Amino acid sequence: MDTKKIYLTKEGIAQLKKEYEELSSVKRPEVLARVSQARDQGDLSENAEYVAARDELSFIDGRLDELEELLKQAVVIRDTGASAHVVKLGSRVTLNIRGKREEFMLVGEWEADPKERKISHESPLGKALLGRKSGEKIEVEAPAGKIGYTIVSIN
């Protein structure tokens, strides 16, 4: 059993709980009803609906187990507040990248979503940012070479 801590924001935990509730209260009962209806149709060896419903039920049960484990191991990232001086989990960091300003939020790996500008604390950029202060310059090794960043602000 992996006892690694899983860092999530309050919103991230709320989303996982919502997904768990939806799967257990709505989707699973619907699929169970489909399995039961398909079973009532007779020969299960040639019943595609039965096989599909059983596969979907298996997937839902697996995801429910995964969500339970995630929620057990979850540690809430505390809101850093506006007085943050050092980059930590939950920080919103504005960076200057080649003359362009971009804002990122440092989150746990389960919540990372590049499209939403949420980067994992375990990514190369996330690791480089942790513990840094406003005004500091960092370099991150990327496939295209080293990229320089300047930390403009931390919220």
Q: Which pLDDT does position 91 carry in this prediction?
A: 92
CA pair distance 80, 129, nearest whole angstrom: 15
For the domain made up of 6-76, give the CATH fold. Answer: Helix Hairpins (1.10.287)
**How do the pLDDT tens digits run along the chain, 155 residues long?**
456 788 898 888 999 999 999 999 999 999 999 999 888 877 666 778 888 999 999 999 999 999 999 999 998 987 655 456 899 999 999 999 989 999 999 999 989 999 999 999 999 999 999 999 999 999 999 888 899 999 999 98
Does the 92-154 domain belong in CATH 3.10.50.30? yes
> Is the Cα torsion angle 84, 86, 88, 92 positive or negative in sign?
positive
User: Where exactly are the structural domains of the chain?
Assistant: 6-76, 92-154
Say what the pLDDT of residue 50 is. Answer: 87
Q: Residue 39: its pLDDT value, please? A: 84
| Residue 146, beta-bridge partner list | 141
pLDDT for res 1: 44
